[in-house]
A and B are shown apart, each in its own frame.
Chain A
């Protein structure tokens, strides 16, 4: 079935450094890949997304890259700040254009001041 693998499960960086989280997906028909940030005790919130017709998208300090051939996509956070500390989830839209998102297991990012 559809599957999304996310790595690493935990990531610790110094403030100002970059952080990279990687995901792979199994359904070659997937064409939409959002990233969600979840702070402790809060709901997941969309931070950036990418569609299959582009290879890269950037929004200030965050960027996402997509390699459809290899079926993987990555989140890049530059100049990390303590408030970036959270759990990050990647997701891939299941085939059939039904809106069914399959989530990765999440990455706990800790930014040390």
Chain B
């Protein structure tokens, strides 16, 4: 299995631009998570989906952030407009549905907003 696949791996963008991060979960996994990692705040859960349905988006920082999962093999996290404080590593992760199943992380998308 290729694991969780994220793109882009690195992105540098100017403040105010739209950023779209993409994720392909592991085949057969029906839970998908978006995490943000910074030195100051550690690993934060932004949103997660079960069977393509958003279950908890309480971690999404503000309306500039949105996430979609149009099908079982694809999800996007969008930031519009981006700000320098959005600079972070964004991890997508997936697992089989239900608590207690191992969550596997992608390689991460390293975002820098200048």
Contacts and interface: CB of A to CB of B under 8 A. Distances in A.
Contacts of A34: 102-103
B111 to A, nearest CB: 15
Interface string B20-58: 000000000001010000000011010010100001100
Interface size class of A (residues with CB under 8 A): 20 to 34
Given A49-B102, A51-B100, A99 B107 contact: no
A97 B48 CA distance: 13
Contacts of A102: 45
A5 B102 CA distance: 21
B100 A32 contact: yes
A44 B42 contact: no
Contacts of A3: none
